[in-house]
Amino acid sequence: MDGVDETAPAKRPRNAANTRGVILAAAKTLLAEQGFARWGVNAIARASGYDKQLIYRYFGGMDGLAEAIAADVSAWMETALVRPENVPPPATYAEMMARVAVALLDALRSDPLAQKILAWELSAPSKLATAFTEARGKALSAWIARERGTLQRPAGIDAPVLNALLIASIQQLVLSGAQNGRFLGLDLSEEAGWERVRTGIAALTKAMFQ
C-alpha cells in the first residue's frame, strides 16, 4: 500500500521477558537457516517482528545478543551431554572420554545452529566467535566434572593436545557431513556411516587415554 513500509516489522504487544525471548529465538533461527552472512540487526528485527531498537534495549546490541546465544548454546549442550539415567557411570577415565566424544558428535550433528557457529568460528574469527567457543568449552568441562568422580587421568599424557585433536576431528566430520555428506572416502549421508564414526571415535579415544 502507498505510504506503508512493508519491510518494517509489525507492531506487537510487549512484555520484557517475552520480547527478549522472541528476539533471541528469531536470532537463533535466522542464524541456523542463513548463517552469519545475513545475520544483522535489521534482519533479526524483521524476523522477530520487533523494532531493532529493542535489540539494543534488551541485549545492548549484536555483541550482547551473540553472548546471549552463546549462553543458550552452552546450556543446550550441557543438557544434550547428560548421561541417561539407565546408563551406569564410566568405569575408567578412557571410557569417560570416549563417551563424551561420542556425545559431542551426536549433539553437534543434531543442531544446525551449532554447525553454523562452528563454520563461522573457522571462517571469520572474532570476538563473537570466541564467545561461542568458550561456551562450548564450558559445557564440555561441566560434563567431565560431573562424570569424572574419582577417576584419574593416566599419567604421562598431554591431555590438552589430545582433546584438541579429538574435538577438531569431530567438528570436521560434522561439518563435512552437513555440507556434502562425505569426508575423504567416508560416506556420511547415511546413518550407517555415522555409526562407523561413533565406533571409530570411541575406539580412538580409549586408545588415546589408556
pLDDT in tens, 173-189: 999 999 999 999 999 99
C-beta separation of 174 from 201 below 8 A:
no
Residue 127 has pLDDT above 80, yes or no: no
Residue 117 has pLDDT above 50, yes or no: yes
Residue 196 has pLDDT above 90, yes or no: yes
Residue 2 has pLDDT above 50, yes or no: no
Query: Which is more confidently placed, 124 or 24?
Result: 24
Query: Which is more confidently placed, 5 or 69?
Result: 69
Residue 204 has pLDDT above 60, yes or no: yes
pTM assigned to the model: 0.79
Angle at 145 between CA 74 and CA 149, to 5 degrees: 155
**Which of the four pLDDT bands, split at 50, 70 and 90, describes residue 58?**
very high
Element (H, E) at 101: helix 93-110
